[in-house]
């Protein structure tokens, strides 16, 4: 296959190369040899852009630019945003404090507090916290990479220097928001997304009637839709060529339907207008819906950044292998087969498109398609089980680190890891103050947790099971040779904080995976087991790939 | 269970907008190779580092990007303008078409041939006592897409001295009257 026809097969509609490259630029930006923006900050930025909830942040950014220009030394705001290493609250705090004595210009009254800066204009005040500055810095990076330094600098010119009013800053922010709107109008794939949306809704109505529910989006529906959309072979529309694009589209539709149903239940759709262009839509409501859907994904981001990032709980491959499962949230349990199809067959579909890009000959292409799965469902299930085992081990190792550091989170981990552990031997020894009931163990009290830590290794006091758990934890810790798992570093507070925060986050990820594994174990499949299901699905995918990429 | 047909029009709009936002998020945060935007870009941070850090020199990637991308050149020019300690005014065309010194407020650049080695030339930067701060980098723009960056040694008694070959890019660019010169 050659030329435009091949490209047509590969490219997926709805993806703006320009916008993707700008986001990659922001994500990959380095400062002092480190990644400048944390994954959570980048994800928050993507949400603000996708939900069009950037206006408030643009206003904050303009106020910060106004202050930063005074505090940034000779280069003004440019030095403030780009001259202080990775974007962290402490870095911006230091930059502002250090420049207090030597501002570029004076005029606006700025008070530096422990939490941020208070700006007193002649016509009102504005405050910005240090914790907000990393996000505003990422927004600045996005704006400069999309709109450009020249246009951005022109907008900012109206609000720099002494004697500027709060109103003038607001006017500049409005102008900047208009620039962002114009840029996104050309680069957000809204039209393609709308087309996809109406196509999916049309299919659901046709298949299930107008009274379909979110749960009507099931494994069979998703597969049938993909087969129908790829039936035209190489001439098929670009929106739904890959099975993964179909799975993700239905997943997102299901998420959106569930969220809107929640709005209905609360009768809270008041702020949602029926016309976005007429300004009747409250973007914050959409942002809140997206935020809720995204809750399952965020733990993986938290594990990559301080303080949890100091500990390598999961490597990149392990992390990547969990992303789709976490993106699905609870929908993974209802769409377990679809998710497995996606995990097993779409990687190979990616190889087919790569082969097309390098214009592989027909024989090679056919070979790749015939061997259309790198692993079976059973392999994949075992892989998930191995990850679950690995996470159990990491949690056990984390427990040892926390016990050694006498960190209170050790107690939460013990309860989570061994919910059936008999804590009665400790009960009498831990009672403090007036008793209200004989069986109360007040684990939340700081003094109790201190006593708990004193006794945890003593079999006579804590019981044999507890002592055995701590011994297992020590063994697990000593058996891990990854970043952070070093006895010598357990005195460092950053490392202990990493175990405390990361341990609890990892626990949430592990519980989601454990629930999914149970679902796989008990799944009702069209065929009698996962092995038979794989054989049947392999025939379906092979046939469909031949149709899609070879025409028959 | 809520069904599609009993959703209000506002709810349906909410579903549509949430679907749009979630799909956009998936698209722009997708890191797999097949969905790459294709263009590996030079970011503003790269330009900032190039302009302000003595260690960051012009590499092949930046050079090619500046040759090909007019907007990037514009951004670099703006950044040079914004962060310069001093920008020299343009020189009037000399009869020879060559310059051997450039003067500005509190600063002078002179070119002086080495007596010991005639193929070498001293670039001497003299700073007045009240010059705001000692520059660390000399930037030259000798053509629209031709940038030369030269890290500077420390000033001694207000004088910075660099020894370069007469036919080096640095000296040749400084001799051209239409080269734009700035100190950083």
| Residue A362 shares a structural domain with residue A391 | no
In a domain, A541, yes or no: no
Q: In B, which residues are within 8 Å of A193 by CB distance?
A: 19-20, 23-24
Assigned domain for A10 exists: no
pLDDT given at position B99: 84
Domain boundary pick from A148, A170, A188: A188
Give a yes or no: residue A206 inside a domain.
yes
So what's the ipTM on this one?
A: 0.88
> Does any CB of chain A come closer than 8 Å to the CB of residue B55?
no
pLDDT of A331 reads 96
Backbone angles phi, psi at A360, to 5 degrees: -65, 150
* Residue A432, pLDDT score: 54
Structure tokens at A257: 């339907």
Label residue A362 exposed, middle or buried (CB < 10 Å: 0-12, 13-18, 19+): exposed
Q: Are residues A115 and A208 in the same domain?
A: no
* Short-list B145, B144, B138, CA closest to B181: B138
Query: What is the spatial distance between Cα A127 and Cα A106, in angstroms, rounded to a whole number?
Result: 18
Is A267 in the same domain as A352?
A: yes
In angstroms, rounded to a whole number, what is the distance separating the alpha carbons of residues B21 and A288?
A: 11
How high is the pLDDT of residue A436? Answer: 52
**Co-location of A296 and A224 in the same domain:** yes
Separation of alpha carbons A113 and A127, rounded Å: 10
Average pLDDT, chain B: 89
Please report the pLDDT score of residue B91 as a whole number.
Answer: 79
How many residues are present in chain A? 552
Alpha helices in chain B (DSSP H): 9-28, 44-52, 60-68, 70-83, 169-175
Cβ pair A515, A333 in contact under 8 A? yes
Other beta carbons within 10 angstroms of residue A45's beta carbon come to: 23
Task: Examine residue A481 and say whether the peptide bond preceding it is cis (omega within 30 degrees of 0).
Answer: no
Cross-strand bridge partners of residue B138: B150, B183
Query: Is the CB of A76 less than 8 angstroms away from the CB of B82?
Result: yes
Instruction: Check residue B18 and give its pLDDT.
Output: 96
Domains and CATH numbers, chain B: 85-183 (2.40.30)
- Distance, in Å, from the CA atom of A253 to the CA atom of A208, rounded to the nearest integer, reads 15
For B54, the 3-state DSSP assignment is coil
Task: Tell me, yes or no, whether A50 lies in a domain.
Answer: yes
Considering the domain architecture, whether residues A127 and A109 belong to the same structural domain is answered as yes
- pLDDT of amino acid B36: 45
Residue A4 has pLDDT above 60, yes or no: no
Which of A7, A12, A25 is the best mutation test for B, with the most CBs of B within 10 A?
A: A25
A466-482 core/surface letters (b: 16 or more CB in 10 A; e: else)? bbebbebbbebbeebee
* Band of pLDDT at residue A424, cut at 50, 70 and 90: confident
Q: What is the enclosing helix (H) or strand (E) of A78?
A: helix A77-82
Domain assignment of residue A493, yes or no: yes
Torsion angles phi and psi, residue A305, rounded to 5: -125, 165
- What is the bridge-based pairing of β-strands A124-129 and B159-165? unpaired
Provide the token pair at A428: 């009498």
- Considering the domain boundaries, does residue A59 fall inside one? yes
Which residue in B25, B41, B74 is closest to A46 by CB distance? B25
Region of residue A434 (phi > 0: left; psi between -120 and 50: alpha; otherwise: beta) = beta
Residue in B with minimal Cα distance to A143 = B44
CA distance A101 to chain B (A): 16
Distance CA A455, CA A448 (A): 11
Chain B CB contacts of A214 below 8 Å: 1
CA distance B86 to B89: 10
Residue A542 parent element (H or E)? helix A530-550
pLDDT at B163 over 90: yes
Q: How far is CA A401 from CA A450, A487, A503, B76, in A?
A: 16, 8, 10, 49
| Cα dihedral sign, A76-A39-A139-A179 | positive
Question: pLDDT digits over B11-60, tens only?
Answer: 899 999 999 999 999 999 877 654 444 456 789 999 999 999 988 888 88
Give the residue from A193, A210, A211 showing the smallest Cα distance to A248.
A193
How far, in whole angstroms, is CA A550 from its chain's centroid? 37
pLDDT tier at A441, thresholds 50, 70, 90: low
**Residue among A78, A253, A286 minimizing CB distance to B48:** A78
Per residue in A454-512, pLDDT (tens digit) is 777 677 777 888 889 999 999 999 999 999 999 999 999 999 999 999 999 999 999 99
Please report which confidence band the pLDDT of residue B138 belongs to, taking 50, 70 and 90 as the band edges.
very high
**A291, A383: one domain:** no
pLDDT value for A262: 75
Residues A233 and A327 in one domain: yes
Q: What percent of chain B has pLDDT over 90?
A: 65
Task: For chain B, state the CA radius of gyration.
Answer: 26
Are A239 and A192 in contact by the 8 Å Cβ rule? The answer is: yes
Is residue A233 domain-shared with residue A162, that is, in the same domain? Answer: no
Residue A546 forms part of a structural domain: no
The mean pLDDT value for A33-39 works out to 94
Q: What is the pLDDT of residues A311-367, one digit of tens each?
A: 999 999 999 999 999 999 999 999 999 999 999 998 778 888 888 888 888 888 888
CB contact under 8 A, A260 and B34: no
pLDDT higher than threshold 80 for residue B67:
yes
pLDDT at A225 over 70: yes
Query: pLDDT at residue A74 above 80?
Result: no
Query: Does A259 map to a domain?
Result: yes
- Alpha carbons A226 and A387: distance in angstroms, whole number: 30
Q: Which of residues 137-166 of B touch A (CB under 8 A)?
A: none
Using a CB-CB cut-off of 8 Å, the residues of chain B touching A276 are 13, 17
Percent of chain A past pLDDT 70, that is, above it, reads 87
Instruction: Give residues 74 to 133 of B whose Cβ lies within 8 Å of A.
Output: 74-75, 78-79, 82-83, 85, 132-133
Contact A272, B18 (CB under 8 A): no
Nearest-by-Cβ selection for A269 from B5, B10, B71: B10
CA distances from A470 to A460, A473, A477, A492 (A): 14, 5, 10, 21
Per-residue confidence (pLDDT) for residue A37, from 0 to 100: 97
Q: What is the pLDDT of residue A477?
A: 97
Q: How far apart are CA A181 and CA A149, in angstroms?
A: 17
Number of domains into which chain A is organized: 3
Which ranges of A128-277 would DSSP assign to H, the alpha helix?
133-146, 149-156, 166-187, 190-208, 219-229, 243-265
B63 touches chain A (CB under 8 A): no
Confidence category of residue A228, pLDDT binned at 50, 70, 90: very high
Q: Does A200 lie in the same domain as A184?
A: no
Q: Which of A160-174, A359-373, A452-466 has the lowest mean pLDDT?
A: A452-466
**Domain end residue (candidates: A139, A160, A188):** A188
Same domain, A63 and A118: yes
Is B9 in contact with A263 (Cβ distance < 8 A)? Answer: no
Q: Is A403 in the same domain as A423? A: yes
Same domain (yes/no): A146, A279: no
Using CB atoms, which residue from B24, B40, B83 is nearest to A75? Answer: B83
Average pLDDT, chain A: 88
pLDDT (0 to 100) of residue A451:
73
Interface contacts A/B by beta carbons within 8 Å: 219
Tell me the pLDDT tens digit for each residue of A96-140.
887 766 666 566 788 889 999 999 999 999 999 999 999 999 999
Encode pLDDT of B71-93 as tens digits. Answer: 999 999 999 998 999 999 877 76
pLDDT score at B102 = 93
The residues facing A34 across adjacent strands are A31
Query: Of A136, A168, A188, which closes a domain?
Result: A188
Chain Cα centroid distance, residue A79: 30
Domain of residue A181 covers 17-188
Measure in Å the smallest separation between the Cα of A368 and chain B Cα atoms: 17
From B170's Cα to the closest Cα of chain A, the distance in A is: 25
Q: Token pair for residue A52?
A: 């069009």
């Amino acid at each position: 296959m050659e030329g435009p026809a091949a490209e047509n097969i590969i490219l997926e509609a709805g993806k703006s190369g320009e916008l993707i490259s700008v986001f990659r630029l922001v994500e990959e930006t380095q400062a002092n040899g480190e990644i400048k923006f944390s994954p959570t900050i980048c994800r928050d930025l993507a949400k603000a852009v996708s939900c069009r909830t950037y206006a408030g942040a643009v206003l904050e950014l303009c106020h910060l630019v106004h202050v930063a220009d005074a505090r940034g030394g000779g280069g003004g705001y440019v030095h403030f945003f780009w001259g202080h290493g990775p974007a962290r609250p402490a870095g911006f705090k230091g930059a502002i404090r250090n420049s207090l004595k030597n501002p570029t210009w004076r005029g606006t009254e700025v008070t530096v507090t422990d939490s941020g800066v208070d700006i007193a204009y002649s016509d009102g005040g504005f405050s910005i916290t240090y914790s907000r500055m990393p996000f505003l810095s990422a927004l600045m990076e996005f704006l400069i990479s999309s709109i450009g330094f020249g246009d951005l600098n022109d907008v900012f010119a109206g609000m720099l220097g002494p004697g500027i009013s709060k109103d003038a800053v607001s006017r500049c922010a409005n102008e900047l928001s208009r620039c962002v709107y114009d840029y996104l109008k050309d680069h957000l794939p809204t039209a393609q997304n709308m087309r996809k949306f109406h196509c999916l809704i049309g299919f659901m109505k046709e298949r299930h009637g107008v009274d379909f529910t979110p749960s009507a989006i099931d494994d069979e529906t998703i597969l049938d839709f993909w087969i129908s959309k790829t039936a035209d072979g190489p001439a098929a529309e670009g929106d739904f060529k890959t099975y993964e694009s179909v799975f993700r589209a239905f997943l997102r539709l299901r998420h959106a339907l569930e969220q809107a149903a929640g709005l209905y239940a609360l009768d809270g759709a008041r702020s949602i207008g029926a016309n976005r262009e007429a300004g009747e839509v409250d973007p914050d409501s959409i942002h809140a819906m997206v935020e809720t859907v995204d809750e399952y994904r965020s733990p993986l981001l938290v594990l990559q950044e301080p303080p949890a990032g100091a500990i390598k709980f999961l490597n990149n491959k392990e992390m990547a292998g969990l992303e789709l499962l976490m993106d699905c949230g609870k929908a993974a349990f209802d769409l377990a087969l679809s998710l497995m199809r996606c995990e097993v067959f779409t990687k190979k579909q990616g190889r087919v498109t790569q082969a097309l890009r390098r214009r592989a000959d027909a024989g090679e292409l056919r070979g790749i398609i015939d061997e259309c799965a790198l692993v079976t469902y059973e392999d994949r299930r075992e892989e998930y089980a191995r990850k679950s085992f690995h996470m159990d081990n990491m949690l056990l190792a984390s427990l040892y680190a926390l016990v050694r550091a006498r960190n209170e989170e050790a107690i939460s981990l013990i309860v989570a890891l061994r919910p059936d552990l008999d804590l009665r031997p400790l009960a009498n020894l831990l009672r403090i103050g007036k008793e209200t009931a004989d069986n109360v163990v007040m684990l939340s009290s700081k003094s109790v947790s201190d006593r708990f830590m004193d006794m945890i290794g003593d079999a006579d006091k804590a019981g044999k099971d507890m002592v055995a758990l701590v011994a297992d934890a020590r063994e697990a810790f000593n058996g891990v040779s990854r970043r952070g798992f070093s006895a010598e570093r357990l005195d460092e507070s950053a490392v202990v904080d990493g175990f405390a925060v990361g341990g609890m986050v990892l626990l949430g990820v592990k519980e989601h995976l454990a629930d999914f594994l149970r679902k796989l174990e008990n799944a009702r499949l069209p065929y009698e087991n996962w092995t038979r299901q794989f054989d049947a699905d392999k025939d379906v995918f092979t046939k469909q790939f031949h149709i899609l990429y070879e025409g028959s | 269970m809520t069904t599609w047909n009993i959703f209000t029009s506002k709810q349906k709009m909410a579903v549509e907008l949430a679907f749009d936002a979630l799909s956009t998020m998936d698209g722009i945060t997708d890191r797999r190779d097949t969905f790459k935007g294709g263009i590996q870009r030079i970011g503003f941070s790269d330009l900032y580092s190039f302009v302000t850090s003595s260690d960051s020199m012009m590499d092949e990637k930046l050079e090619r990007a500046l040759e090909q991308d007019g907007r990037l050149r514009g951004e670099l020019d703006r950044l040079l303008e914004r962060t310069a300690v001093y920008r020299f005014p343009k020189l009037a065309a000399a009869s020879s078409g060559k310059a051997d010194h450039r003067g500005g407020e509190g600063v002078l650049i002179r070119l002086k041939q080495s007596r010991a080695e005639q193929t070498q030339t001293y670039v001497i930067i003299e700073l007045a006592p009240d010059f705001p701060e000692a520059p660390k980098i000399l930037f030259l723009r000798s053509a629209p897409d031709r940038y030369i960056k030269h890290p500077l040694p420390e000033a001694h008694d207000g004088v910075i001295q660099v020894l370069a070959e007469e036919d080096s890019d640095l000296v040749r660019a400084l001799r051209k009257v239409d080269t734009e010169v700035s100190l950083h």
